[in-house]
Structure 1
Amino acid sequence: MNPATPPSPPPAVSRVSEAAAQAAISAACRALFLPTIRTQAAPLAAAAARERLTHQGYLAEVLTAECDDREARRRIRRAKEAKFPRAKTLEEFDTTAIPDLPPATLAHLATGAWIEAGQPLVLLGDSGTGKTHLLIGLGTAAAEQGRRVRYVSTAALVNELAEAADAKQLSRVVGRYGRLDLLCLDELGYVHLDARGAELLFQIITEREERASIACATNAPFSEWGATFTDPRLAAAVVDRLTFNAHIINTGTSSYRLRTTRARKGAAGP
């Protein structure tokens, strides 16, 4: 039996000046793409000296700082990639305005467990009742959790698919939408789709069926979706796919925007 291989000796280190050390750290961090360590190494070293941290303790601090900043940048990047039309958060939303959405339900949706399960979400209600706010807020929460999210209006998506089909790039675009963790589809039912547009949209819905979540906001009850999709059979198939194992929230008929505006004016006083 061969004897055990002896442990490798620790690497040799040489004494360098503080200026040389800082230059070496900066160069190495640029090469390794570690911007936070490059800027925080010196301040954290001073803090580590005051706290009498060990070398390993200091190393843990700088690596943790890099990881935390990288995660924060990733959340910001995911939110930008989602292409939300404006910033909306769940914290800003008044859940008391929607009886069908108790705080516990909203808190559960905010965790994104329904996205992991590939379940749909339908926000159903009149204009101004907070559907888009909820759609963007839930999408933002999902993006900040590191998920791939995209917001798009129904009309814009259908136009994009039609242009892709004309350019013989439809499969590529459908595949791109299929890889998203969450597709936020707004204004479903606001415009009537011709037969081609309805079929193109159906491809996206089918691509994601029971595998990846779609959250949609609509002002039309399911019984009226036949007016949007023109073909009753296609409308029934869309309803079936978007409601199976879905979370369906009725935002009502009372304008959330109008109530919020009046409340702000009342708080501001005469």
Structure 2
Amino acid sequence: MSSTSTTGAARAMTDPAAEAAIHAACRVLSLPTVRDQAAPIADASAKQRLSHKAFLAEVLTAECDERDARRRIRRVNEAKFPRTKHLADFDPTRLPDLPPPTLAHLAGGAWIDAGEPLVLLGDSGTGKTHLLIALGTAAAEQGRRVRYVTTATLVNELVEAADDKQLSRVIGRYARLDLLCLDELGYLTLDPRGAELLFQIITAREERASIACASNAPFSEWGATFTDPRLAAAVVDRLTFNAHIIQTGTTSYRLHTTRKKGKPTNH
């Protein structure tokens, strides 16, 4: 008995039938970009006299590129940044003590792969949150799992999780992130319970996954946040070991930017 299989053999098909088959197959295989782009890419390929293999490469590459773009957007959305900030919008000349290659190096994300911390220290308005969000966005756009959260919000979430007996699940979720962006560390004094819960998050990520934090207080004043001197010392030790530390200084970046744009300021 002869085989009726068409595997490996091309079948004659009209263009409308081919388009219908492509649409049906793309729905089954979840290939929306191939479905939308197959016809125009086929027309372009015919004009350029590309081979069938080249046409196939083109449509599959288009699908991969679109998936990558969607993944980057999804990662950025999942990070829950409060506003949009990019490194291209930051003026590094406002940080004279910062070596020029530093931000470009950090944007590459090798420190995240190595599980190294990043600490941004400086007065309010000096660009800490801008850099924190911008570096977090760069990491998310590279496909990494990132989450931005203020210290107060994270501590409240941990306290509620502990009360609901969900603490292990929440700590596990934060431990699996590639980068945790922790903002406003040192702005508020934490009660002993909240400080200990935050310390659990820091410990869960120690030397395995990166934390980038921003604080308006020098390390010597972190005892006011964690109240227990030993706990404060342990937090500083974990967040500074192999860390990248950037001092943003005391000059308001926001005020300088506003004046540069020629907007009036209130005195």
Q: Distance in 2 between matches of 1:146 and 1:238?
A: 28
Deviation larger for 93-102 or 52-61: 93-102
Query: Deviations for 1:228-264, whole angstroms, at most 9, x for unmatched residues?
Result: 0000000000000000110000000000000000001
2:189 maps to 1:192? yes
Q: What's the TM-score, normalizing by structure 2?
A: 0.95
Q: Distance in 1 between matches of 2:117 and 2:48?
A: 51
Aligned to 1:143: 140
8 Å contact kept, 1:96–1:102:
no
Equivalent position SS for 1:123: strand
2:11 maps to 1:11? no
**Superposed counterparts of 1:157-176, under 5 Å:** 157-176=154-173
Aligned to 1:222: 219
Kindly provide the amino acid, as one letter, of the partner of residue 227 in structure 2: T
How big is the shift at 1:30? 1.0
Q: Which runs of 5+ in 1 are unaligned?
A: 1-7
Kindly provide the amino acid, as one letter, of the partner of residue 247 in structure 1: H
8 Å contact kept, 1:139–1:184:
yes
Q: What's the TM-score, normalizing by structure 1?
A: 0.94
Aligned to 2:260: 263
How big is the shift at 1:10? 5.8
Kindly provide the amino acid, as one letter, of the partner of residue 90 in structure 2: F
Q: Distance in 1 between matches of 2:174 and 2:100?
A: 31
2:16 maps to 1:37? no
Q: Distance in 2 between matches of 1:101 and 1:12?
A: 63
**Superposed counterparts of 1:64-75, under 5 Å:** 64-75=61-72
**Superposed counterparts of 1:104-115, under 5 Å:** 104-115=101-112
2:76 maps to 1:93? no
Aligned to 1:21: 18
How big is the shift at 1:20? 1.1
8 Å contact kept, 1:29–1:38:
yes
Q: 1:102 to 1:180 in 2, by over 3 A?
A: same
How big is the shift at 1:17? 1.5
Q: Distance in 1 between matches of 2:130 and 2:27?
A: 40
Aligned to 2:152: 155
How big is the shift at 1:103? 2.4
Q: Which runs of 4+ in 1 moved over 4 A?
A: none
Identity %: 77
Aligned length: 260
Q: Which runs of 5+ in 2 are unaligned?
A: none
Aligned to 1:133: 130
**Superposed counterparts of 1:195-214, under 5 Å:** 195-214=192-211
